[in-house]
Structure 1
Amino acid sequence: MPVLVSNLQEEIAVDDNLVKLVETVILETLQSEGYSPEAEVGLIFVDDNYIRSLNAEYRGIDKATDVLSFALNEGEDMPEAEEAEDLLGDIVISLPTAQRQAEEYGHTFEREVAYLTAHGSLHLLGYDHQTEEDRQVMREKEEAILSRLNIRR
């Protein structure tokens, strides 16, 4: 499973353990939802200014957020899609926001990044939280993924 991790921020150090963590969370999410381990996901670590500009451009919300997902498999299938690589899309995580939220929620930075990675991965697979019912389904899946990986609060 190719997970392509990029770091476009300089505020928080990104080490091999953090990269391994997000790769593991993405793989667990894909496996739990029946996706091929060969599916490709990009994960980009950014700062608050970068994610704010993306949020403003793509969602019309001019403020920083914690995670954004850009799914490539939305809409109708292309005729050649059967033979193409399974490119699911990109997850963008603001590490400064993740750090603040970890402190606010009283758990580790790594747990917060893992949660945001699971959340973003589920968005790539078509899950959303526009209704309370959808939010509950997504939350249960996120917590189940983290639990299977023994990532506790």
Structure 2
Amino acid sequence: MTKVQFNYADRQLRFTGKTAVKSYIETIFKKEKKKLEAISYIFCSDDYLLQINKDFLQHDYYTDIITFDISEPEGGITSEVYISIDRVKDNAIQHGTSFQNEILRVLFHGALHLCGYKDKKSKEITLMREKEDYYINDYLKKHK
């Protein structure tokens, strides 16, 4: 059984190659030398994720991803990652990229957070973007 699950709240994720993406997310953890127990991606709408943002983080704004690390001490990484399909679609249009590239960026972004990468300070953002780009390019090279 895969350690990476795709689940759906009120939106479906529609793109080909989901199995390959799940497998590659496991590869990211291996390359980053982090032990992955389980990661559950939950795809949802803007409104669904906004409510989570308000309830759990006291933030009143839309976001594309919220990552909850629910790992046990001494165990591998266990997490729930909520992704707004609405935000990903809008961001793809805003950044002039395909939906597939943007969903890969967001999926890998969540995994990288769990591997210890941050994105609050300028240097952290730069490193996070470099890692996202590296893994997107590596994935696309292997899955064309």
Q: Equivalences for 1:112-131 in 2 at 5 Å?
A: 112-131=102-121
Same amino acid, percent of matched pairs: 22
Partner of 2:67: 69
Report the count of equivalent residues.
Answer: 140
Q: Equivalences for 1:96-111 in 2 at 5 Å?
A: 96-111=86-101
Q: Measure the CA separation in 2 of the matches of 1:43 and 1:122.
A: 14
Structure 2 gaps, min length 5: none
1:99 is paired with a residue whose SS is helix
Structure 1 gaps, min length 5: none
TM-score under structure 1 length normalisation: 0.80
TM-score under structure 2 length normalisation: 0.85
Q: Equivalences for 1:5-16 in 2 at 5 Å?
A: 5-10=6-11, 13-15=12-14
The alpha-carbon distance between structure 1 residues 98 and 16, as it changes in their structure 2 partners (threshold 3 A), is closer
| 2:18 paired with 1:19 | yes
The alpha-carbon distance between structure 1 residues 15 and 21, as it changes in their structure 2 partners (threshold 3 A), is farther
2:40 is paired with a residue whose SS is strand
- The alpha-carbon deviation at position 21 of structure 1 amounts to 5.2
1:126 is paired with a residue whose SS is coil
Structure showing greater relative contact order (alpha-carbon pairs closer than 8 Å, 6 or more residues apart): 1
Q: 1:91-122: CA deviations, max 9, x gaps?
A: 11100110111111111111111000111111
The alpha-carbon distance between structure 1 residues 16 and 115, as it changes in their structure 2 partners (threshold 3 A), is closer
- The alpha-carbon deviation at position 29 of structure 1 amounts to 1.8
Report if the CA contact (8 A) 1:66-1:93 is conserved. yes
1:53 maps to which of 43, 51, 54: 51
Report if the CA contact (8 A) 1:88-1:125 is conserved. no
Partner of 1:32: 31
Q: Equivalences for 1:78-93 in 2 at 5 Å?
A: 78=73, 81=74, 84=75, 86-93=76-83
Q: 1:55-105: CA deviations, max 9, x gaps?
A: 1122211122101111124xxx73xx3xx5x24211111001101111111
RMSD: 2.1
The alpha-carbon distance between structure 1 residues 62 and 147, as it changes in their structure 2 partners (threshold 3 A), is same
Moved over 4 A (4+): none
Q: Measure the CA separation in 1 of the matches of 2:131 and 2:104.
A: 13
